[in-house]
Structure 1
Amino acid sequence: MARVYGSMGVVFSEQSNYAKALQHHLKAVTLYEETKEEEKLARVYNNIGIVYRAQNEDFKALDYFSKAQKLQEKVGDPTVGITLTNIGNLHLKQHNLKEAEDYYTKAKFYFEKFPNPRGLGELYNNLGLLHKKNANSSKALESWNLALQTFDIIDDKFGKSDTYLFMGEYFYEQNMWSEALIHAQKAAELSKQLKVLEGTALAEKLLSSIYEKRNQPNEAFKHFKLYKTAQDSLINHENIRKSVQAEMNYEFEKKEAIKKKSRKRRRCF
C-alpha cells in the first residue's frame, strides 16, 4: 500500500499536481515509518523534497533531501545518486556553482557504481545547466545530448521533454531561431502527451517568443494563447494546492505530535 501511495505521488508530481503528490507521499511516509523500512522511506523523503522544490520552498526541500541522504548512506541505498543530484540542483539554483558541481560529481560516482538511466539522464540535464551558467557552451550541449541518449534507453519522454526545453532556451539565447524552434516544438509535443502543465506552459511561451523573433506574429499570438491557457491551469492548481497543503500540513503536524506523546508514554513505563 505504501508503494502504491508513493508511485501515485510521483505521477501527480510529474503532472504538476503537487497537492495530490504531497498527500500521497505523506501517506507513504506514515506507513514506511510504522514498518521501519528505511530504504523505502528515504526514497519517499526524496520525492517530497522534489515536490517542495517545485513549489520554491527550498529550505523544506533541502530538509527532506538531507533526511533522505542520511538514511540512504546508512543503509547503502543505490539511489543515493538521485538525492545528491537534487541537493546539487538546490545549490545551482542559489548560484553556488562549486557546491553544485561537488554534489553532481558524487552523484555521477554512484550512477556509475549503480546504473540508473533515468537518474543519470537527469544528472546530465543539470550538468548542462551548470556548464551553461559557467559559459561553457560546448560542454552544455554535450551534456544535453548525453541526456537524450540516456533517456532513449528507457524511452523516458518526461526527461526528454526537459532536455529539449533546455536546448531550445539555449539556442534562443544564441539567436539560433531555427534550432530553437525544433527543440521547443519537441518539448511542447512531449509535455502535451504527458499532460505536464508546467512543461507545456514553458514550451509554449518559448515558441511564442521564437515566432516573434522570426517575424511571424500570427504564430506568436497562437502559441501565446496556448501558453496562457496552460498557465491559467497551473494557477488554478496553485490556489487549490495552497488550501489543501495548509490542511495537510496541519494534519501531518498533528499526527507527529501524537506520535511524540506516544513515545514519551512508552518511555515512562
Structure 2
Amino acid sequence: MTSPMTPERFQDRFDAFRGEPQQVSGVWTLHAAIAALPGSEAVLDEQAPWALTFSQKPAAPPASAVPSGGLDPRGSEEAGMAGPQLAAPVQPGDTYLLVNDRDEDMEAYDHTGRFLWKIPCLARGQGADTDWSQTSTDTPPGLYRLGQLYADYEQNPNPPCSDTAMGYGWYSFDMEELEGQEVAVGRAGIMLHGGGSACGWPGAWAPQQPLHPTLGCVRLHNADLRDKVLPRYRQGTVYVGVFQEKK
C-alpha cells in the first residue's frame, strides 16, 4: 500500500533535515529522477521560470507585531465557557491552537492573532461534557504548550497492529500545563494525538480516522496532525488553549 506524499509533507521533510547528509542525497536522487523523465531538459534548464524564481531571494518582510500582553484569540463561540486564564506568551513563529470542545473543532492562529485554519477536534473523555475533574473525563480547560513529539508515522508509516499504534495514531505530543489545570484536579499525562482504539485496525491508522473520545486527551485526525500541526510545531512554540462547557 503506497502513501502519497503531500506538498506540505515534502516540505516538512526537506526543512527537518536542512543541511544534513540525507537531504543532500535526497536532492541528488530527486535531480536524477527528474533527469530521467521525458522533457526533463525544459524542467532542468537554468533559465526555466521556476529556476529563476527559486534563485531570487525575496526582500525580508517587516517584522509582524506581537500582541502586547500575549495572545488570547477567543471569540464569541467561547463566551461562557471555561478556558485559559492566561494569554499565551507568543513570539514570532509561534502558533496558538484554540480547542472548543462544544463545537468539536480546533482553530489555529499565528503569533499576531491571524487566523490560519480550522479542523475537527475532540477534547472529550469518558463522562459528562461538563466534567474534567475526574480521571478519564474531558481535557481540563486552560493553557498548554506542546512538548515532546512522538513521531510514530515517521518511524514506520505502515506498522503492525499494536495498542500504541491504535491508541495514539500517527503522531502524539505531550501537552505541558501552564496553569496547573491538571494537577489541580489530580490528573496528568494529557496529550494531543490521533488514532482511536474504538476504530479497530487498520481503521485507527487511517488518515481520516473517526474521532472517538479519549481518556482525556485532545484527538485529531491522523493526517491533520501531520499536515497541519506538525509544520507549526517545527516552526516555533505551539500553545493550546482548551475550552470546555461549564456545569
Fold in common (TM above 0.5)? no
With the length of structure 1 as denominator, give the TM-score of the two structures.
0.22
Say which structure is richer in strand.
2
Say which structure is richer in helix.
1
**Higher relative contact order structure (alpha carbons within 8 Å, sequence separation ≥ 6):** 2
